[in-house]
């Protein structure tokens, strides 16, 4: 992407694919940061690295499965310095298959939370966004 408009389009496409990309907010952090400061637009090496990793990842997407309502769902939470993520998986014949991914970037005040508070926020966010599965 060469312009702010192209970065906005890229971010929109990534967000629309967020269900299929684990830990999107953490991986796309440099790209989303560009949108906060559109006047100081500069495509840096971190942005290029994130962009290339998305291109590589999208060629080998994990296959999401429909949930089997007879089997248990497992929820995994991931907390980073600037993002939280969750994934629902189901185990079939000792293999865990993904059902749904969520992630979001933390706001400035949320970045200052203690790790246990970030974990609680991840749990609340996951239960709110994934309530059809509970």
Q: What is the pLDDT of residues 96-116, one digit of tens each?
A: 889 988 989 899 999 999 999
Quick check: pTM over 0.85?
no
- 44 has a pLDDT exceeding 80: yes
Q: What is the mean pLDDT of residues 66-79?
A: 91
Query: Burial, 26: exposed, middle or buried (Cβ in 10 Å; 0-12, 13-18, 19+)?
Result: buried
Average pLDDT over all residues of the chain: 86
Contact criterion met (CB below 8 Å) for 67 and 54? no
The long-range contacts involving 9-14, CB below 8 angstroms and separated by at least 24 positions, are 10/51, 11/35, 14/54
Which domains does the chain show, CATH number per domain?
Answer: 4-58 (no CATH), 73-133 (3.10.20.370)
In the chain, the DSSP E strands lie at 73-79, 83-92, 95-105
């Amino acid at each position: 992407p060469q312009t702010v408009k192209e970065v906005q389009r890229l971010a929109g496409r990534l967000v629309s694919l967020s269900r299929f990309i684990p830990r999107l907010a953490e991986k796309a952090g440099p790209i989303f940061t560009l949108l906060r400061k559109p006047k100081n637009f500069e495509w840096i090496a971190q942005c290029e690295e994130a962009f290339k990793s998305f291109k590589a990842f999208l060629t080998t997407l994990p296959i999401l499965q429909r949930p089997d309502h007879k089997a248990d769902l497992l929820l995994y939470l991931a907390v980073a310095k600037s993002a939280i993520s969750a994934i629902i998986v189901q185990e079939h014949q000792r293999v865990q298959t993904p059902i749904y991914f969520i992630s979001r970037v933390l706001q400035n005040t949320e970045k200052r939370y203690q790790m246990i508070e970030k974990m609680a926020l991840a749990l609340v966010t996951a239960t709110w966004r994934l309530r059809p599965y509970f």
